[in-house]
Amino acid sequence: METFYSKYGGEETISKVVDYFYDLVLADDTVNHFFANTDMEKQRKHQTKFISYALGGPNQYSGQSMAKVHEGMNLQPVHFDAIVSHLRAALTHFGVKESDIEDALTKVESLREDILYK
């Protein structure tokens, strides 16, 4: 079965989606403060590798666990939902089919417990 990753053009496309996604995130006062002290170039590269892997690409993700990365942030459902909403918008913007967006967001949703309230 063709993966989402290969179907939509691999890491090059994922990178564009991630850039657009972070433009939306950084314009959103609900969540942008979480990135106030973040090296966004590094964050974008890291997120591109993570999302590429999550969508069926090669595993180049060598980061810490989701729980560890979000430790001390005390993320709430409203924050998680805002991020999911921006990811949906970014995927839609780049012409990803609704069924593929649902598959991608199901994978993201599976991380909710590892991210919230840490």
Indicate the annotated binding residues for heme: 46, 70
Check residue 32 and report its DSSP letter. Answer: G
Task: Classify 31 as helix, strand or coil.
Answer: coil
Q: How far apart are CA 18 and CA 23, in angstroms?
A: 9
Binding-site members are: 46, 70
CA–CA distance, 75 with 67 (Å, rounded to integer) = 11
The backbone torsions φ and ψ at residue 30, rounded to the nearest 5 degrees and listed phi first, read -65, -35
